[in-house]
Structure 1
Amino acid sequence: MTAISVTKARENIYQILSEVNSSSQPITITNNRGKNAVLISEEDWNAIQETLYLNSIPGMAESIIEAGKEPLEECSVYNPDEEW
């Protein structure tokens, strides 16, 4: 992971935001007090939040893994009118 000082980040914020969004690589922003931060794209942040949410539902991760093993021919067709 790339690390830059808060001063450099301040000087190049638009370029850094562009890099983070295009590469999906987080950047650590450091300061001299040892209180660093990590900059990630909004898209990556949303993906992390979704993963945390899904992992918080008991049995969800196992269900997703099992569904991934199911042959595509055996999968149901999505029906938006189907009651859950």
Structure 2
Amino acid sequence: MQDSFTPTNARKHFFDIVKQVSSEHKPVTVQSKDENQDVVIVNKHDWDAMQEALYLSATGTLAEVQKREADNSGWTDIDSIDWEKL
């Protein structure tokens, strides 16, 4: 199925668009004559993930996680742990 529809075609194929977006996790654009009125239909799970990423970025949490991932000094080699002594 296509990635972009006119509003009229989107209305005609709405159920198929919903199925496609849900199963393929690919957004679909509905383009109007005025591009300020264009919309994008996305999977709810994908939307939630984007919102979470934006929140983590806005609060500085994402940068802190990336900083810690780049710093290997605090990591413990899991193979070096003596599990019997824990």
The normalised TM-score by structure 2 is: 0.70
Asked if 1:33 is matched to 2:37, the reply is no
Deviation at 1:53, TM superposition (A): 0.7
Deviation at 1:66, TM superposition (A): 3.3
* Equivalent residue pairs, number: 73
**Counterparts in 2 of 1:62 and 1:32: CA distance versus 1, 3 Å:** closer
**Counterparts in 2 of 1:33 and 1:57: CA distance versus 1, 3 Å:** closer
Larger Rg: 2
Look up the match of 1:50.
52
Give the unaligned 5+ runs of structure 1. Answer: 75-84
Look up the match of 1:21.
22
Give the unaligned 5+ runs of structure 2. Answer: 79-86
Look up the match of 1:62.
63
Deviation at 1:33, TM superposition (A): 3.0
**Counterparts in 2 of 1:72 and 1:27: CA distance versus 1, 3 Å:** farther
**Greater helix proportion:** 2
Q: Which amino acid aligns with 1:17?
A: V
Superposition CA RMSD, Å: 2.1
Q: Which runs of 4+ in 1 moved over 4 A?
A: 69-72
1: CA distance between counterparts of 2:56 and 2:76?
22
The percent of aligned pairs where both chains have the same amino acid is: 23
